[in-house]
Chains A and B, each alone.
Chain A
């Protein structure tokens, strides 16, 4: 695989004006923090500055700078172990950061005031077996000052039918619906969904997507982690791509999709990958079976050169890259350029 790092890093820089930099020695990060400066209602719901989390010697999060404003759906996208869940757990106050600043509604994570405005669905969390969905939801509603109506939530989450069945006897998808119901029963302003649809049946996934969209429409802020690009593509306004504890891209969903280049050329060609990689505007080339896949910032000019050099080109397709291809490109680029 051949890559033009310069072009890609230029694109990345355009989307990430703030350079990721460790705090200099002696610099007082707290005084400089924009997280703490103003507390007007329209400021960030989540604000992280230089947020790092170290487990033993390994960084799960490294100098994360991220500010999420009120409203909309933000997808945190990354492979397993990229640091998505650690970030969520830090936001919830369940993990303490090793360094840096993190505020939720301008407050420290885990404060009772912020918790009353937060709903959460965790990845590996299960509920007690012997209570029914209705009992679970009723109990959870008692924690919040302004809970939603229990029957309405049961209905929204398509749980009415199993409302009085013991949790133990529910299917995997039904259990996830109960967990989702707990995340929204408190009428939260901010909802964290950690891999909400991993391993879900399509019905439950659709229900969840519908509810997330409705919540976003009423001005709630939704943070969801996922490794399903489709999910980010369909749901999110903004995508934050993380890899090995760092943010490698952050922008509007459409922008991230553009990142992999202007277009994807797929064809059968005789010309070597190396040679195509040297064409101007080509971001990446790879061989996929019989097909050569070319990521180009300017597919028209690339095609012109390709067709002039190779008369045998066949089965030609030009398309916009999907988020998945953009994500692949980003993931590979950063791993090679940071080594």
Chain B
């Protein structure tokens, strides 16, 4: 029956892509906002230069993958659950792995679409020259960053109704971006806010990305990405447990 699940997976991918492209008003902002912000902060604002373009390449890459992950899963799952669609699916032999796998695959496709213009602007616009291996490592990190954000989306999607999910997804998305230092480095924030920042996966992931591209630190502190990686892994396990609990609560 493995081929049945695989077959279902391809159909689910097709359905997810069709749903997304037929609602461009939802998908376009998440694709265009990151590149627009990147161009603004890395090129247009005063003080822009090579360093900024490199620094923001690392952080806006995280920002770019956050949108499709949090909104795709948070709002998408809440909406399908709300209208009873998930109940029909769960009563049917639809393989859960095909449904989730397709949603993750399509999230990765849209995350890539959001990343491409930023990479192009950084490479050709700002003339950032990095070894191929560093580009590849950065891309790998940016794409893997969808995991914790997808888990956050799942928790929101399984816990809230569709209206609540839209509101909470927006708050989480903006908080992760602003407080996580994706828009501006957190050393510009007051101390209290900085303490909050380091608890966010967006900040921790951005730190790893910055270490990969070896962007000059705005402060003198030394980067230890292994610490950030450990924190991200622990956060991901914690989020996965919460997502599992939120999912298991469905059947009572």
Contacts and interface: CB of A to CB of B under 8 A. Distances in A.
Given A95-B252, A125-B83, A130-B23, A120 B88 contact: yes
Given A95-B251, A96-B251, A130-B22, A143 B85 contact: no
B18 A143 contact: no
Contact of A124 (B19, B22, B84, B94): B84
Contact of B91 (A120, A128, A142): A120
A94 B87 CA distance: 7
Interface string B1-26: 10010011011101100110011000
A227 interface: no
A140 B92 contact: yes
Given A120-B88, A130-B22, A130-B23, A96 B252 contact: yes
Interface in A148-200: 166, 179, 182, 186
Most-contacted residue by chain A among B12, B80, B84, B92 (CB, 10 A): B92
A144 B251 contact: no
A135 B15 CA distance: 8
Nearest to A138: B11
A310 interface: no
A17 interface: no
B11 A139 contact: yes
Interface residues of A, number: 30
Given A115-B92, A120-B91, A142-B11, A94 B251 contact: yes
A126 B88 CA distance: 9
B247 to A, nearest CB: 13
Most-contacted residue by chain B among A93, A125, A145 (CB, 10 A): A125
B85 A127 contact: yes
A240 interface: no
B93 interface: yes
B88 A122 contact: yes
A101 interface: no
B19 A94 contact: no
Interface in A83-98: 92-96
Contacts of A122: 84, 87-88, 91
Interface string A102-130: 00000000001001101010101111101
A143 B92 contact: yes
Contacts of B223: none
Contacts of B15: 128, 131, 135, 139
A145 B12 CA distance: 16
Contacts, number: 80
Contact of B4 (A127, A135, A145): A145
A127 B86 CA distance: 9
A130 B19 contact: yes
Given A93-B251, A128-B19, A139-B11, A144 B84 contact: no
A125 B84 contact: yes
Contacts of B85: 125-128
Contact of B1 (A95, A142, A145, A182): A145
B113 to A, nearest CB: 19
B2 to A, nearest CB: 12
Given A96-B251, A124-B84, A128-B19, A142 B92 contact: no
A166 B19 CA distance: 11
B16 to A, nearest CB: 10
A126 to B, nearest CB: 4
B95 interface: yes
Given A93-B91, A131-B15, A126 B251 contact: no
B165 to A, nearest CB: 15
Interface string A237-267: 0000000000000000000000000000000
Contacts of A127: 83, 85, 88
27 contacts: A92-B90, A94-B87, A94-B91, A115-B91, A118-B92, A120-B88, A120-B92, A122-B84, A124-B84, A125-B85, A125-B87, A126-B84, A128-B85, A131-B15, A131-B18, A131-B19, A138-B11, A139-B8, A139-B14, A139-B15, A142-B8, A142-B11, A143-B4, A145-B4, A166-B22, A182-B88, A186-B93
The 8 closest A-B pairs by CB, nearest first: A125-B84, A126-B83, A115-B93, A92-B91, A130-B22, A142-B11, A142-B8, A116-B93
Interface of B: 1, 4, 7-8, 10-12, 14-15, 18-19, 22-23, 80, 83-85, 87-88, 90-95, 251-252
Interface of A: 92-96, 112, 115-116, 118, 120, 122, 124-128, 130-131, 135, 138-140, 142-145, 166, 179, 182, 186
